[in-house]
Amino acid sequence: MPMGIKGVVLGGVVVLAAGAAAVPYYLGGEAEARYQEQLAKSTEALALHEPNAKLTSVEYQRGYSQSHFTVRLEVPNPELDEPVVIQLKGLIDHMPDLGKQRMLAYQLDFDILNEEVSKALAHYLNGAPMLSVAMDVGFNGSQQGTLSSPSFSGPTAANPEMMVEWGGLSGEVSQSPDMQVNGVIRAPGLKVTEGDKVVQMGESTITANGEVTNDQWFGDSKMLLSYLTIDDGDEGPVRFDQFSVTSAQKMVDGRLDSSSTLAIDQLQTPLFTLGQSGVSLALRNLRMETLQQLQAKAGELQRLDPNDPVAASQIQTQVLEMLEMALSDSPELAITDLHLALPDGRIDSNLRIKYQDDGAGIPTRPDQIIAHLAIDLHLQAPATLVRMLIQKQAMEQMPADTDPQEMAVQLAEAVDQQIAVMKMSGYIKEEGVNYLLDAKLADSQLMVNGNDNTPMLQMMLMSMQ
């Protein structure tokens, strides 16, 4: 090979080698810039959502292929004389891995520094961090990570007679280049025993899928607990089966559409049993700008002392301002579904409340408030349950020394009379084994089971003025 070509090749090799050697250093600078940016964002978010907390960067040591940092978060705790101090120690590996398509790798360990708390945790952690997170950042900006917390089996720190079996925590989280986030956290279970007293929790999971836009979470999440049993050794166990909380949040035409559902397959207690039941709630029609303003106002409220007379006046003013902000968007609140499976039958209900703003500020008179509201209510309940509730109320008004036989007759008559009045007034409608109530309020007109009850509503409003 001619010397000129050799020189060019050798020079190219030297340049490539120098470039490769400089990559970890360059990525170290990028990692530090990300750290400072994330620290600033977290500080800003903390000031908004938890203004009394404090986030501090204790140190950042940048090396050629690795960097180390320590961050502390102080959160006030009314039960302690000092704030809870959470420490995050991090290791950033900025030596790229071409085989794994990895640009950066993070190892994060979380611990609590308060002496009293950390001593108690040390008994259960056996020298391990309270929570560890490992995260890889790809060349395309994607992130993949795992989290873990140690398991424990043995007596509690405070009571050697109380035994604990804890399966620990594990989870995975990922973020795509377009900022879509997916995650799952699992806990295999927990069992605490002391003599014949037992608390046992089955496997639980938390899943989340969505994205963060303008510091707001949009997407779906679900918490599922397979079962929970509580037995105090005296009255018998209480057991929950398949308890879940599901939520979803999205923007539709620039307005918030948020919903949550609480559900349970079965609840068993020594006194009663509840079958498959649940409730679904929805909040709609708030603008993103309004949501952010409300959060900012909520942060301001947390800084005020309600025991200070001046601050108390400011709190009242702030609450009214927040209410006016929310109502200006004509929000809608709804119980989209409520169902309870009782031994006497099933209760089904839904409720929708919408406020229509006219730009004239918050109304103060009851009739003005009613004029701004649109309400729809549906309720179906077993006739036996309705009669039982009326009977209980009538029984409380009777003298304690009433003859049992006479009381039974009087109660039956009182229930029949009350049911007859409710039917005649149109407040309940009989359908099979159930009683129904359908009510609708619109334009200051109240309809109940198809009957116009506006005069009754007007009389109630006049009495409130």
pLDDT of residue 12: 39
- Average pLDDT, integer, range 347-372: 83
**What are the distances in angstroms from CA 428 to CA 89, 231, 241, 418?**
63, 41, 34, 11
Q: Is the pLDDT of residue 281 over 90?
A: yes
Q: Is the pLDDT of residue 9 over 70?
A: no
- Average pLDDT, integer, range 345-367: 84
Name the more confident of 391 and 233: 391
- Average pLDDT, integer, range 254-272: 92
Name the more confident of 301 and 223: 223
pLDDT of residue 23: 57
Helix (H) or strand (E) holding 45: helix 3-49
pLDDT digits (tens, 9 = 90+) for 219-244: 999 999 999 999 987 777 899 999 99
pLDDT digits (tens, 9 = 90+) for 401-450: 888 888 888 888 888 999 898 888 888 899 989 999 999 999 889 889 98
Q: Is the pLDDT of residue 13 over 70?
A: no
pLDDT of residue 20: 43
Q: How far apart are the first and last CA of the chain?
A: 104
- Most confident listed range (4-8, 63-67, 420-424): 420-424
- Of the listed ranges 191-200, 389-398, 453-462, the least confidently predicted one is 453-462
pLDDT of residue 370: 83
- Average pLDDT, integer, range 338-345: 90
Whole-model pTM? 0.81
HSE value, Cβ hemisphere, 13 Å, CA-based, for 463: 6
Instruction: Please name every residue paired with 282 in a beta bridge, in sequence order, or none if there are none.
Output: 259, 334
Name the more confident of 191 and 120: 191
Mean pLDDT of the chain: 84
What single letter denotes the amino acid at residue 308?
Answer: D
Q: Which residues, including other chains, have CB under 8 Å from residue 60's CB and lie 6 or more apart? A: 32, 35, 67, 68, 69
**Strand ranges, E, within 235-329:** 238-252, 255-264, 266-268, 273-274, 277-287
pLDDT of residue 24: 62
pLDDT of residue 465: 64
- Most confident listed range (204-208, 356-360, 405-409, 447-451): 204-208
- Average pLDDT, integer, range 56-85: 84
- Most confident listed range (16-30, 303-317, 318-332): 318-332
**Percentage of the residues of the chain whose pLDDT score is greater than 90:** 34
Q: Is the pLDDT of residue 62 over 60?
A: yes
**What are the distances in angstroms from CA 418 to CA 118, 381, 385, 402?**
62, 16, 14, 21
> pLDDT category, 179, cuts 50, 70, 90?
confident
pLDDT of residue 337: 94
Phi and psi at residue 387, to the nearest 5°: -65, -40
Q: Is the pLDDT of residue 14 over 50?
A: no
Instruction: Please name every residue paired with 173 in a beta bridge, in sequence order, or none if there are none.
Output: 145, 183
d(CA 271, CA 236): 10
pLDDT of residue 21: 52
Question: Exposed, middle or buried, 399 (CB in 10 Å: 0-12/13-18/19+)?
Answer: exposed
What 3-state class would DSSP assign to 449?
coil
Q: Is the pLDDT of residue 399 over 80?
A: yes
What single letter denotes the amino acid at residue 63?
Answer: G
- Average pLDDT, integer, range 50-60: 85
CB 121 within 8 Å of CB 130: yes
pLDDT digits (tens, 9 = 90+) for 124-144: 888 889 999 999 988 888 889
